[in-house]
């Protein structure tokens, strides 16, 4: 059995088709042109926001890589250092994401460590350190 992939029609393509079909109606052509321009502007803004967000993420990843030492530390401790260094709106989840990316790139090492909680119980946490040599 062969499946045929149907291409999803975008709004821009839909307006272009309407414009083509009703080319003799000036109002509709003008409306479609405005809508197509608005969609292109919206797409451009989205690309700019994505590029800015990616650049900020790369900056955070570079900083996190720079503060890793040769001793294993928990993600929470590393996140505290990042916040103390002046990064605003940084959560532990964002730091953990960058740490895992560094592990995947081979720039950091990840392991489980046992820590003692305030109630005296032992708990296992993920810990990270920079790669040695």
pLDDT digits (tens, 9 = 90+) for 36-84: 999 999 999 999 998 887 776 678 888 998 999 889 999 889 989 988 8
Look-up of token digits 């969609």:
39
Q: Supply angle C-alpha 35, 49, 65, rounded to 5.
A: 160
CA-to-CA dists, residue 121 to 80, 86, 97, 111, 115, angstroms: 23, 33, 27, 20, 8
Residue 1 is predicted with a pLDDT of 52
* Average pLDDT score, the chain: 87
Domains present along the chain, CATH in parentheses: 11-130 (1.10.10.10)
Beta strand 122-130 pairing with 73-74: antiparallel
Distance CA 69, CA 80 (A): 15
Contacts of residue 95, Cβ cutoff 8 Å, sequence gap at least 6 = 60, 64, 75, 78, 79, 82
Q: What is the pLDDT of residues 20-48, one digit of tens each?
A: 998 899 999 999 999 999 999 999 999 99
Q: Which residues pair with 113 in a beta bridge?
A: 125
Q: Considering the entire predicted model, what is its pTM?
A: 0.57
């Amino acid at each position: 059995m062969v499946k045929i992939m149907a291409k999803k029609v975008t709004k821009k393509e839909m307006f272009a088709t309407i414009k083509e079909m009703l080319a003799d109606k000036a109002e509709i052509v003008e409306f479609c042109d405005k809508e197509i321009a608005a969609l292109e502007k919206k797409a451009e803004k989205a690309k700019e926001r994505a590029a800015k967000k990616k650049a900020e993420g790369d900056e955070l990843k570079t900083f996190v890589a720079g503060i890793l030492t040769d001793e294993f530390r928990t993600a929470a401790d590393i996140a505290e250092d990042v916040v103390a260094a002046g990064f605003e709106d940084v959560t532990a989840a964002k730091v953990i994401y960058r740490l895992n990316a560094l592990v995947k790139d081979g720039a950091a090492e990840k392991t489980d460590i046992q820590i003692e909680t305030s109630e005296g119980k032992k708990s296992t946490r993920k810990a990270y350190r920079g790669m040695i040599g």
